[in-house]
């Protein structure tokens, strides 16, 4: 087995490497003057089981292209099996046609990864479960809920908790987390989205008065939905509101919006690397999914069960 890291998330790749006690494969991933990407593998990978670790986060197109070229380089170097480890799968929100003459970009990206030469895909909390069916190769969709649940139990063990879904579409995710941390009550924020990137909170369904609320979602991008939901929960009598999201996209003024919001803290995983250290003393905190990914990588290489990670 060999591990190859792209440039999208070096800290996570190093953490996975440390967990598996296996060095990252030496490779050169650089750009020409016109920004064309060039990849050169500096080790023999013939007949090897290779895992390429690369999130397709910002800059999404550059990181996606880098992933595709890494896969192609490995395929032409006669690697036995190539697994694309994509902690954050970009374009996942374009998983259906919301209107006429619009693309299903998640399917296009799945086709690109498959045609490039990937043998299988490993990701965390795909935005929509049906994306697994977009691939014509085996796809493992891991869940960050065990990592999140452990953190919640360690921090809020004796508090009166309510798990809150920020929209109707996230109820299954919220119910699963509520069951995992001890069958705590569930609430839903009913919102109406007028246009992409903006949301308006309409109503809170469930009992939150006097309770500590845990908002749960898979992606936080502009953070507008979470901040509006936190304000609505506080108006309904919530003592404190914490938010847990798997993928911290945090584009634009999201961090500033969170800092001014009614959220006590926003917790995300390290599936996405911003390229700089988080502000000390701020409301943002990160949990690592490196052990989860590393254990899944080990089991895939050993042809063992991955689903048993969540039993």
Query: Is residue 224 part of an annotated ligand binding site?
Result: yes
Res 271: pLDDT: 96
Res 122: pLDDT: 97
Are the C-beta atoms of 260 and 228 separated by less than 8 Å? no
- Domains defined along the chain, listed by start: 2-142+291-309 (3.40.50.2020), 145-272 (3.40.50.2020)
> How far is residue 173's CA from residue 161's CA, in Å, rounded to a whole number?
16
Are the C-beta atoms of 267 and 285 separated by less than 8 Å? yes
Query: Is residue 247 part of an annotated ligand binding site?
Result: no
Are the C-beta atoms of 121 and 82 separated by less than 8 Å? no
Query: Is residue 303 part of an annotated ligand binding site?
Result: no
Res 148: pLDDT: 95
Catalytic residue among 2, 80, 179, 191: 191
DSSP per residue over 88-119, as a string?
S-TTTT--S-SSTT---HHHHHHHHHHHHT-S
Rg of the chain's alpha carbons, rounded to an integer?
Answer: 20
The pLDDT profile of the chain, 311 residues, written as one tens digit per residue, is: 999 999 999 999 999 999 999 999 999 988 999 999 999 999 999 999 999 999 999 999 999 999 999 999 999 999 999 999 999 999 999 999 989 999 999 999 999 999 999 999 999 999 988 999 999 999 999 999 999 999 999 999 888 999 999 988 889 999 999 999 988 999 999 876 666 656 565 789 999 999 999 999 999 999 988 999 999 999 999 999 999 999 999 998 898 999 999 999 999 999 999 877 777 778 999 999 999 999 999 999 999 999 888 86
8-state DSSP, 202: E
Query: Is residue 240 part of an annotated ligand binding site?
Result: no
Query: Is residue 136 part of an annotated ligand binding site?
Result: no
Sign of torsion, CA 195 196 199 203?
Answer: positive
Query: Is residue 167 part of an annotated ligand binding site?
Result: yes
- 28 C-beta neighbours (distance < 10 Å), count: 9
Are the C-beta atoms of 92 and 104 separated by less than 8 Å? no
191 is catalytic: yes
* pTM attached to this predicted model: 0.91
Query: Is residue 34 part of an annotated ligand binding site?
Result: yes
Q: How many CA atoms lie within 13 A of 70 on its CB side?
A: 29
DSSP per residue over 125-175, as a string?
S-SSGGGGGG-SS-EEEE-SHHHHHHHHHHHSTTS-EEEEESSGGGHHHHH
Query: Is residue 235 part of an annotated ligand binding site?
Result: no
Q: Is 277 helix (H, G, I), strand (E, B) or coil?
A: coil
């Amino acid at each position: 087995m060999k591990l190859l890291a792209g440039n999208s998330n070096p800290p996570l790749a190093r953490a996975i490497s440390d967990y598996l006690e296996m060095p990252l494969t030496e490779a050169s991933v650089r750009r020409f003057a016109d920004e064309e990407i060039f990849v050169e593998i500096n080790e023999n990978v013939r007949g090897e089981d290779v895992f390429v670790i690369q999130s397709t986060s910002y800059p999404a197109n550059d990181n996606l292209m880098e992933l595709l070229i890494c896969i192609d380089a490995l395929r032409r170097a006669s690697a036995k099996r190539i697994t694309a480890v994509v902690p954050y799968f970009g374009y996942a929100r374009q998983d259906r046609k919301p209107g006429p003459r619009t693309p299903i970009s998640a399917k296009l990206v799945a086709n690109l990864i498959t045609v490039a030469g990937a043998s299988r895909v490993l990701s965390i909390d795909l935005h929509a479960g049906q994306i697994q069916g977009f691939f014509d190769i085996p796809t493992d969709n891991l869940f960050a809920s065990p990592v999140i649940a452990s953190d919640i139990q360690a921090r809020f063990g004796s508090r009166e908790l309510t798990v809150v879904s920020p929209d109707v579409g996230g109820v299954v995710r919220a119910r699963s987390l509520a069951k995992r941390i001890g069958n705590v009550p569930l609430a839903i924020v009913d919102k109406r989205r007028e246009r992409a990137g903006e949301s308006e909170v309409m109503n809170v369904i469930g009992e939150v008065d006097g309770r500590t609320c845990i908002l749960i979602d898979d992606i936080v991008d502009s953070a507008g939905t979470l901040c509006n939901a936190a304000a609505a929960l506080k108006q309904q009598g919530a003592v404190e509101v914490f938010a847990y999201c798997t993928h911290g996209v945090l584009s634009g003024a999201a961090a500033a919006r969170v800092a001014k919001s009614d959220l006590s803290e926003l917790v995300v995983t390290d599936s996405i690397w911003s390229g700089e250290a988080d502000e000390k003393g701020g409301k943002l905190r990160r949990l690592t999914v490196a052990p989860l990914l590393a254990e899944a990588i080990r089991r895939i290489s050993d042809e063992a069960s991955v689903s048993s990670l969540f039993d």
